[in-house]
Chains A and B, each alone.
Chain A
Amino acid sequence: MIQKKFLLNFSKEVSEQPHIYHLVKDYDLIVNIFRAKITDEAEGFMILEISGEKDALRKGIAYLRDQNVGVGEAEKGVVWDEERCTQCGNCLSHCPTHALRIDDPATMHIIFDAEACIECLACIKNCPYGACTSVF
């Protein structure tokens, strides 16, 4: 069993198809959708975690690519700009999964663990410096 976070991009041409249904039904994958949006240009975005057998996951992703769905693995829906961040720590008690956290109490440096981020966007609402933004 492996588990990975993805950012999917559905162009106007493919955004009306039930791709997630096929991932579950045809490839026996477990999906956990954090955030999805369809724009007024009918372009769609989705941030989700997919888990399943390694081979099934590989095939499921290949299916999505075959359907012209943009699959980003490294891309995250929430972007933390280290330069804009002043390391104040206002976000810490607002981040429910501790994706934003301090690992070393000696330096008090904030880190952003994108894999742990569930895209609740609390950091975007709360950051006084606008260090966190959303790609969509």
Chain B
Amino acid sequence: MKSYEEINEKIASGKAVVLTADEVSDYVDQKGLAKAAEEIDVVTTATFGAMCSSGAFVNFGQCAPKIRITEAWIDDVLAYSGVAAVDAYIGATQLRQNDPENMYYPGEFRFGGGHVIEKLVAGKQCQLFALSYGTDEYPRRELRTWFTIDDLNQAIMVNPRNCYQNYNVATNLSDRTIYTYLGALKPHMKNLTYSSAGQLSPLLNDPLYRTIGIGTAVWLAGARGHVYAEGTQHAPSISRTPGGVPTGGAGTLALTADMKQMKGRYVRGVSLKGYGVSLALGVGVPIPILDEDVLLKTTVRDRDIPAEVIDYSSDYPNKTGKVLAHVNYADLKKGNIELLGKRVEVSSMSSYAMALEIAELLKEEVRSGSFLLSRPLQPLPVEQELKSLKIRKEDEVR
């Protein structure tokens, strides 16, 4: 048994024993659980992939004469301005104004909020265009200027949902190519796509949220960030393996960090043909090895993590709940998989190579004493169902 304080003291003195979630399984196999739990202080987990529910609050500062912005566009991408005078929220999936969308199907969706955020973190110049109705104390009604992230007072990433604990695997049983947020899916189940870092993924290494809770310190694209809430659609009450690994989405995290501290390599705009724009982010979460149970959970391997294959041509859009097949991440990572008597090519939307790079980077930061852990202020719910939206007629609610 170790406390957060003991682990942080070891980190601060540069003596912490830190392994990545990729390394820890073999290590525990060799040393045995009890001995390994005494030795290891921290296991680093990570993921890198498209996280649509991401965005950033920015504060532009005031100009003279002053403005109370009602609508704002950064590089022609609408930023939500229903907040204070010169605050705005730029969301990852907001498309650039006048993008033809899927009018010429499948649309290319070349630029949107995710790309704006990538440009900001990369230190590039962005254009701000803003409108207002004008008031006595904020008389200006229009402005156009250029700025970089350094000109902003604050640029705080606030992501309502990141790090989905697990995810389904998409394929296409129809007779035409379909375009989804998991990429292009060829007809007649010629390919399938998954999106998870598997055995490196943060919430798969702490499946019942013993150490990851509200207040947990995370590595968000190179900045020190925090879990600020349960993520939207956090729904842990689903079927799980005996080891606690959920067979579907389950838990999610709401993350925040200072965008000015982020590294461009881990903040990347995404264009998904036929679907839209998004933002890919790198996230690392250190797990303190408080006891044997916490360590045991970090030894999860790809072969222990199940995933459900869903037909995105029909069952997914129609919400039928039908699962075509069950697979695991070890099989998915082989590049092709035997599914319903057919050999199917596999693609991924999540980068294991980048996740590994982040887990190693975070390992070095913890080892060198520059990344201390934080005890959660409040645990995440472990029981909660996902609600569906009921479409009601007006006379049903009168």
Contact = CB atoms under 8 A, between A and B. Distances in A.
Contacts of B353: 87, 107-110
Contacts of B193: 90, 93
Interface size band for A? 20 to 34
A71 interface: no
The B interface is mostly helix, strand or loop, or mixed, namely: strand
Contacts of B280: 86, 88, 128-129
A130 interface: yes
B273 A87 contact: no
Contact of B273 (A107, A109, A125): A125
The 9 residue pairs across chains A and B that have the minimum distance between CB atoms: A93-B191, A87-B353, A93-B345, A89-B348, A108-B352, A93-B347, A88-B351, A128-B270, A87-B351
Interface string B38-66: 00000000001110000000000000000
A125 B183 CA distance: 11
Given A91-B347, A129-B280, 19 more contacts: A86-B280, A86-B351, A86-B354, A88-B348, A88-B349, A89-B347, A90-B193, A90-B347, A90-B349, A93-B186, A94-B191, A105-B333, A107-B356, A108-B333, A126-B183, A126-B273, A128-B183, A128-B272, A129-B271
B93 interface: no
Interface of A: 86-94, 101-102, 105, 107-110, 125-126, 128-130
Nearest to A126: B184
Nearest to A88: B351
A110 B348 CA distance: 12
A94 B268 CA distance: 22
B298 interface: no
A108 B335 CA distance: 10
